[in-house]
Structure 1
């Protein structure tokens, strides 16, 4: 009897919609040369239950030590569920300190950064949020950028 109840509870729990604790996706930059034309897109689905939480939003960057700058400017374009209008924002992502030492974690000649762009964000509409990244540096294409990604993690209840 107890086994049947436990199996029933497990079955009911598996039918509930999945909640988002963390979303993370990283996309490769073709040829490790990020051009203006290459705009990685990330789609994040937020359930009604997930709208009760605050979120920290990060941009992930992976580059080689041959990357020629101490930062990278990125246009982060956000489209909210049910909204045809996009909301672009230009953000600076620091990659090195004033002395030129790379920030983030490094292994051999590859460096990875997880840089916060918004803390305690409110995603108050259920549905799919669409984030598009565009490199916004003067140099095109931008060499030695290997991957770019998006990470969104829960930061607690609102």
Structure 2
């Protein structure tokens, strides 16, 4: 974050999986220091990849689907370099059927108060 104008950052977790992923959901552990670079916050989130009938819920084509989940909105206290770390919260060491996991950050200006 390079500017001093207050900015709200919206974090989204995105997952691209194949149909051979053996579970209904994916648990991720996200750690970030985006509000204050000296303080780390950790969240555990679950992304549902199928509905109750086992049908894939993400946008897909053939055997690959992409899902996203809003994580949180953060307003950094000052300009600086910030970090987001993503780790699997699943019991399996290697996740069969997961192609990609990433974080998307959208920048929003806060609404002006009248």
Aligned with residue 123 of structure 1, among 76, 79, 91: 76
**Structure 1 match to 2:87:** 134
> CA separation in 1, counterparts of 2:3 and 2:80?
8
TM-superposed CA distance for 1:156, in Å, is: 3.9
More helix by percentage: 1
TM-superposed CA distance for 1:103, in Å, is: 1.3
TM (norm. structure 2) is 0.84
> CA separation in 2, counterparts of 1:56 and 1:143?
29
The answer to whether the 8 A contact 2:8-2:74 is kept is: yes
**Structure 2 match to 1:99:** 53
**Structure 2 match to 1:47:** 2
Q: Could you tell me which runs of 5 or more consecutive residues in structure 1 were left unpaired when the two chains were aligned.
A: 1-45
Q: Does 1:146 align with 2:99?
A: yes
Aligned length: 110
Residues 130-150 of structure 1: CA distance to partner in whole angstroms, max 9, x if unpaired? Answer: 011100112222211111111
**Structure 2 match to 1:62:** 16
After superposition, the Cα gap between the structure-2 partners of 1:96 and 1:156, relative to the gap in structure 1 and judged at 3 Å, is farther
Q: Secondary structure at the match of 1:66?
A: coil
Q: Could you tell me which runs of 5 or more consecutive residues in structure 2 were left unpaired when the two chains were aligned.
A: none
Q: Secondary structure at the match of 1:157?
A: coil
The structure number with the bigger radius of gyration is: 1
CA RMSD of the aligned region, Å?
1.8
